[in-house]
């Protein structure tokens, strides 16, 4: 019922948002004889803010057209390499006509970026991908909005997430010989499970795994996110935050944790900061500070674009990661694609180097939660394990912004290069 009410409200708001946008343009139009007054500026800014608050935010695009590789501009072609019911493996292929640059591209390491499935789209890692493309072949997991996945495609469980990651790793290994894996936030847990299971079976594992700001052990330095999961029972989440997708959408009837509820939770964590940000946006519009206003738009175009998660996956993540702590207790069994239950044993990993990254001020994954991976991966030699705590960085600062570019990425790049083995690369792959 709540989801249907939300969709009705969204549909009713759409014409008002469009009207607010048109009115804002009217007052800011230079041909309007009254458009250059201070009152007109304030009216235009007010209606623009109303439009931004009322509009529907769709999935953004990555929009990475070119990157610099050793000072040379390289073209990027984005394409879907594998298409699964709930995820696309997306590749950012690089092109150059310069022979030396092309040779450089061919010899660079392959990185699978496993993006979070926790409310936002993979485009949240746009800057992460753009930076990596300067020195790596890059693939990313682009998770689909569950409300667009028909019921006929089945359910999506946490076990399926683990199996998807393994399939993507094998795909890159078959193409390049091997790869490196980077997981940001939520996927650190299923990624560690995926690589653990591969190691236990005797499969080739990635050359390295970089885990950034994730809840490997959510008992350490618990945050508000952790408290929410522990203060309520599994049944409470099932009864209070799970709804069926309305009939008007492709995934009609699917039980999901709606993105609009997740977005409400995001905003509720820092309501004062968001209110101040919107007021500053209004003032910047009045002043004509276009650069600051555009920065606000870009941030909230991403922040306000949210997706639904399949109920099975969401509830199983709550229980496994944040309530029962199955990974760190050694009690997590994952069902393979063949239907067999397998115990997750991180201690079986040996040929994969481990780098963990945390932000000193992370209010989503607290201090020590990601570093806990080192206590589990006892089979990895000490020389192949590193940890980085980024001073002054919050959750987003470890994968975007100045600290990501100047502190985290150089360390990640050095770590990957130090553990990169010659790969049987496709001669045309860049």
Asked whether the predicted pLDDT for residue 424 surpasses 90, the reply is no
**What is the pLDDT at residue 428?**
46
**Could you tell me if residue 331 is inside a domain?**
yes
**What is the pLDDT at residue 427?**
41
For the beta sheet containing 66-69, the strands, ordered from the edge strand earlier in sequence to the opposite edge, are 66-69, 72-83, 87-95, 137-143, 110-114, 180-184, 208-212, 353-359, 385-390
Assess contact for 176 and 422: CB atoms under 8 A. Answer: no
**Could you tell me if residue 162 is inside a domain?**
yes
Place of tokens 């946490």: 158
Indicate whether 123 and 214 sit together in one domain: yes
DSSP 8-state class, residue 59: P
Angle, CA of 336, 339 and 341, to the nearest 5°: 65
Indicate whether 145 and 78 sit together in one domain: yes
Domain boundary among 12, 36, 56: 56
**What is the pLDDT at residue 167?**
98
Indicate whether 334 and 231 sit together in one domain: yes
Indicate whether 80 and 169 sit together in one domain: yes
Q: Write the pLDDT tens digit of every residue in 38-69.
A: 888 888 989 898 888 888 888 999 999 999 99
**Residue range 380-401: mean pLDDT, rounded:** 96
Q: Write the pLDDT tens digit of every residue in 93-135.
A: 999 998 999 999 999 999 999 999 998 999 999 999 999 999 9
**Could you tell me if residue 104 is inside a domain?**
yes
**Residue range 259-265: mean pLDDT, rounded:** 83
**What is the pLDDT at residue 25?**
86
Q: Write the pLDDT tens digit of every residue in 161-218.
A: 999 999 999 999 999 999 999 999 999 999 999 999 999 999 999 999 999 999 999 9
**Could you tell me if residue 410 is inside a domain?**
yes
Indicate whether 21 and 149 sit together in one domain: no
Ranges 5-9, 73-77, 273-277, most confident: 73-77
**Could you tell me if residue 408 is inside a domain?**
yes
Alpha helices (H) along 187-270 = 188-201, 224-231, 234-240, 259-269
Q: Write the pLDDT tens digit of every residue in 225-248.
A: 898 899 999 999 999 999 999 998
Assess contact for 50 and 40: CB atoms under 8 A. Answer: no
Burial 399-425 (b: 16+ CB within 10 A, else e): bbeebbeebbbeebbebbeebbeebeb
State the pTM of this model.
Answer: 0.91
Indicate whether 145 and 37 sit together in one domain: no
Indicate whether 217 and 340 sit together in one domain: yes
Asked whether the predicted pLDDT for residue 266 surpasses 80, the reply is no
Indicate whether 228 and 327 sit together in one domain: yes
SS3 of residue 79 by DSSP: strand
| Average pLDDT score, the chain | 92
Asked whether the predicted pLDDT for residue 345 surpasses 50, the reply is yes
Any residues with CB less than 8 A from the CB of 22 and at least 6 apart, and which? none
Asked whether the predicted pLDDT for residue 136 surpasses 70, the reply is yes
> 48: domain range?
1-56
Q: Write the pLDDT tens digit of every residue in 278-287.
A: 989 888 888 8
Indicate whether 75 and 208 sit together in one domain: yes
Indicate whether 317 and 380 sit together in one domain: yes
Indicate whether 50 and 82 sit together in one domain: no
Q: How confident is the model at residue 423 (pLDDT cuts 50, 70, 90)?
A: very low
Indicate whether 217 and 324 sit together in one domain: yes
Domain boundary among 56, 77, 103: 56
**Could you tell me if residue 253 is inside a domain?**
no
Q: How confident is the model at residue 267 (pLDDT cuts 50, 70, 90)?
A: confident
When divided into structural domains, the chain yields a total of 2
Assess contact for 251 and 146: CB atoms under 8 A. Answer: yes
* CATH code (residue 151): 3.40.50.1820
* Percentage of the residues of the chain whose pLDDT score is greater than 90: 71
**Could you tell me if residue 286 is inside a domain?**
no
Assess contact for 104 and 41: CB atoms under 8 A. Answer: no
**Could you tell me if residue 294 is inside a domain?**
no
């Amino acid at each position: 019922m709540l989801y249907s009410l939300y969709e009705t409200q969204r549909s009713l708001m759409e014409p008002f948002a469009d009207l607010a946008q048109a009115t804002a343009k009217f007052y800011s139009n230079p041909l309007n004889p009254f458009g250059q007054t201070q009152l007109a500026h304030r009216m235009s800014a007010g209606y623009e803010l109303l439009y931004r608050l009322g509009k529907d935010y769709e999935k953004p695009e990555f929009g990475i057209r070119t990157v610099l590789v050793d000072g040379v501009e390289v073209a990027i072609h984005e394409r879907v390499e594998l298409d699964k019911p709930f995820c696309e493996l997306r590749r950012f292929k690089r092109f150059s006509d310069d022979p030396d640059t092309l040779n450089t591209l061919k010899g660079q390491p392959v990185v699978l970026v496993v993006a979070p499935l926790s409310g936002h789209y993979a485009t949240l890692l746009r800057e992460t991908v753009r930076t990596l493309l300067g020195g790596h072949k890059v693939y990313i997991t682009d998770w689909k909005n569950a409300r667009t996945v028909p019921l006929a495609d089945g359910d999506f469980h946490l076990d399926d997430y683990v199996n998807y990651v393994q399939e993507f790793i094998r795909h890159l290994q078959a193409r390049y010989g091997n790869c490196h894996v980077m997981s940001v936030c939520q996927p650190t847990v299923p990624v560690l499970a995926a690589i653990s299971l591969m190691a236990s079976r005797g499969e080739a594992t990635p050359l390295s795994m970089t885990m950034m700001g994730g809840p490997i052990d959510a008992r350490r330095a618990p945050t508000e996110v952790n408290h929410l999961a522990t203060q309520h029972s599994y049944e409470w989440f099932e009864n209070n935050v799970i709804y069926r997708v309305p009939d008007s959408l492709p995934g009609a009837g699917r039980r999901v944790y709606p993105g609009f509820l997740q977005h409400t939770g995001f905003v509720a964590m820092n309501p004062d900061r968001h209110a101040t940000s919107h007021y500053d946006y209004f003032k910047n519009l009045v002043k004509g500070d276009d650069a600051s206003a555009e920065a606000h738009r870009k941030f909230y175009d991403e922040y306000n674009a949210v997706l639904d998660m399949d109920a099975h996956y969401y509830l199983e993540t709550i229980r496994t990661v944040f309530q029962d702590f199955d990974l760190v207790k050694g009690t997590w069994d994952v069902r393979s694609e063949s239907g067999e239950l397998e115990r997750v044993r991180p201690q079986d990993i040996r040929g994969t180097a481990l780098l963990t990254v945390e932000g000193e001020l992370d209010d989503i994954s607290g201090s020590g939660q990601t570093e806990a991976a080192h206590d589990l991966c006892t089979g990895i030699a000490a020389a192949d394990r590193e940890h980085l705590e980024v001073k002054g960085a919050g959750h987003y600062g470890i994968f975007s912004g100045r600290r990501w570019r100047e502190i985290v990425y150089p360390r990640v790049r050095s770590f990957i290069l130090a553990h990169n083995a010659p790969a049987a690369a496709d001669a045309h792959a860049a």
